[in-house]
């Protein structure tokens, strides 16, 4: 009898302790939503990262607007030469003294390139011939110049020493990770699966972007194929949160305070938003791309290999629909993108033919409201601050 009472007393007092902890946390969360492991790491005001954009869609204005607003502005350097990386970084530094993030693609040549022979190229040109004919363009010779190489681009990152270097499609080798650390550059790797997050933490990254299959742009997997790594963000965040200790940045389909709150509830310490910033006046996306992001049809996105040879998410258009079944016949990255450059103007402009253009977008594009990056930031901060 005595023993039963003791158990009763113990469980009631444990319950009491749990409730008071819960109350404290709730109070704390409401007051300090913006103070997380991630903001502590970088000394920034808000746990919001403007996603970097490759393909020439980043801009100095967007990066600096976001960093100056207290979040982390990013610049995707994927298409740039080392000289352009240095020049662009100087331009960013002229407009902000806040931390910013530069981004590269670690694996920038598909292994399949070596096997993609003349016969394969011929098959590719046959698929696209009707489109070239329609525009009155000649079929291009197989492109030889495949663009700048990651190894050279990384030397420019060492030279520029941004506060943050984020990367996708792999992990820099041990020496490069060591060099980044010794230069005081914080590293942020990107995971599409929990195994990738574990590998990134093992390599010593400072934070991990956990990116769900909702995200706009490329599926940046590196351990398994993109097709085998299509985890949604609601499943990915808690799995990654249980597996690693470093701060987690959730990405994919987050465009407003509801998304930020959900990501934090699932275990994220920050969010990375791409499409919402791409749609603003400050990004380098073409005017018709921005317009389409606000179109009711922006609900319909698709994962396609048509534009670059790697699986990526964008709005449906004529090309993605007509070539839906031909994904595996596309050339490997980056050859497919260079080939497609002949069909769509590069970088795409408003006057280039929308049938053949990539309109990158994440799955939540139809929720977008804001057309200015500063106003978007203000709205997020305002909404997050509400009880
Ligand atoms: C046009 C476009 C280009 C992108 N390029 C890159 C890139 O070069 N490097 C990278 O790490 N992420 C890239 N991303 C991913 C974004 O940084 C971000 O993680 C993603 O857009 C988040 O999903 P959301 O679009 O649903 O917000 C790109 C996204 C888009 C829409």
Please, are residues 68 and 98 in contact by the beta-carbon 8 Å criterion?
yes
> pLDDT-based confidence at 22, cuts 50/70/90?
very low
> pLDDT-based confidence at 1, cuts 50/70/90?
very low
The count of domains in the chain is: 1
Residue 194 CA to residue 254 CA, distance in Å, equals 20
Listed residue (276, 283, 244) closest to 260, CA to CA: 276
Helix axes 233-243, 257-265, angle to 10 degrees: 40
**Residue with CA nearest ligand 1 atom 17:** 51
Domain presence at residue 3: no
Residue 278 CA to residue 320 CA, distance in Å, equals 21
For 158-175, write each residue's pLDDT tens digit. Answer: 999 999 999 999 999 999
Domain presence at residue 267: yes
Ligand 1 proximity of 273 Cβ (cutoff 6 Å): yes
Distance 312 CA to ligand 1 centre (A): 10
Ligand 1 proximity of 168 Cβ (cutoff 6 Å): yes
Domain presence at residue 183: yes
Q: Give me the CATH number covering residue 254.
A: 3.20.20.70
**Which atom of ligand 1 lies at the shortest distance from residue 362's CA?**
26
Residue 318 CA to residue 208 CA, distance in Å, equals 35
For 145-157, write each residue's pLDDT tens digit. Answer: 999 999 999 999 9
Sign of dihedral through CA atoms 374, 380, 384, 387?
positive
Domain presence at residue 93: yes
Ligand 1 proximity of 309 Cβ (cutoff 6 Å): no
For 96-133, write each residue's pLDDT tens digit. Answer: 999 999 999 999 999 999 999 999 999 999 999 999 99
Structure token digits, residue 64: 């600096």
* Cα-based torsion angle of the residue sequence 373, 376, 382, 386 in order, rounded to the nearest 10 degrees: -150
Distance 155 CA to ligand 1 centre (A): 23
Domain presence at residue 285: yes
Ligand 1 proximity of 78 Cβ (cutoff 6 Å): yes
Distance 378 CA to ligand 1 centre (A): 21
Ligand 1 proximity of 362 Cβ (cutoff 6 Å): yes
Domain presence at residue 323: yes
Domain presence at residue 9: no
Question: What is the domain range of residue 251?
Answer: 34-385
For 255-266, write each residue's pLDDT tens digit. Answer: 999 999 999 999
pTM of the model: 0.92
Domain presence at residue 24: no
């Amino acid at each position: 009898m005595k023993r039963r009472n003791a158990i009763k007393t113990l469980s009631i007092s444990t319950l009491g302790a749990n409730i008071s902890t819960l109350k404290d946390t709730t109070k704390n969360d409401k007051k300090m939503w913006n103070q997380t492991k991630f903001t502590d790491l970088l000394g920034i005001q808000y746990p919001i990262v403007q996603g970097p954009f490759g393909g020439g869609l980043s801009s100095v204005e967007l990066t600096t607007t976001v960093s100056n607003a207290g979040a982390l502005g990013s610049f995707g350097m994927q298409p740039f030469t080392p000289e352009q990386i240095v020049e662009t970084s100087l331009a960013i530094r002229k407009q902000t003294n806040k931390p910013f993030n530069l981004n590269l693609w670690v694996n920038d040549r598909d292994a399949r390139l070596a096997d993609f022979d003349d016969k394969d190229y011929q098959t590719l040109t046959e698929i696209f011939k009707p489109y070239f004919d329609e525009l009155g363009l000649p079929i291009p010779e197989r492109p030889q110049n495949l663009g700048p190489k990651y190894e050279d681009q990384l030397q420019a990152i060492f030279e520029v020493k941004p506060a943050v270097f984020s990367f996708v499609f792999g992990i820099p080798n041990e020496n490069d990770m060591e060099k980044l650390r010794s230069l005081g550059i914080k590293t942020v790797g990107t995971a599409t699966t929990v195994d990738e997050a574990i590998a990134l933490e093992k390599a010593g990254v400072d934070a991990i972007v956990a990116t769900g299959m909702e995200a706009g742009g490329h599926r940046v997997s590196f351990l398994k194929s993109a097709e085998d790594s299509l985890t949604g963000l609601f499943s990915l965040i808690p799995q990654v949160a249980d597996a690693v200790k470093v701060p987690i940045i959730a990405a994919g389909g987050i465009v407003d305070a509801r998304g930020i709150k959900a990501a934090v509830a699932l275990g994220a310490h920050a969010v990375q938003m791409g499409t919402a910033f791409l749609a603003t006046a400050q990004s380098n996306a073409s005017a018709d791309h921005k317009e389409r992001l606000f179109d009711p049809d922006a609900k319909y996105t698709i994962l396609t290999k048509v534009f670059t040879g790697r699986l990526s998410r964008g709005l449906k258009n004529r090309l993605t629909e007509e070539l839906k079944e031909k994904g595996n016949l596309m050339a490997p990255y980056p050859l497919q993108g260079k080939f497609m450059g002949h069909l769509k103007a590069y970088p795409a402009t408003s006057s280039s033919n929308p049938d053949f253009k990539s309109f990158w977008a994440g799955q939540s594009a139809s929720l977008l409201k804001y057309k200015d990056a500063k106003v978007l930031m203000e709205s997020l901060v305002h909404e997050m601050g509400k009880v």
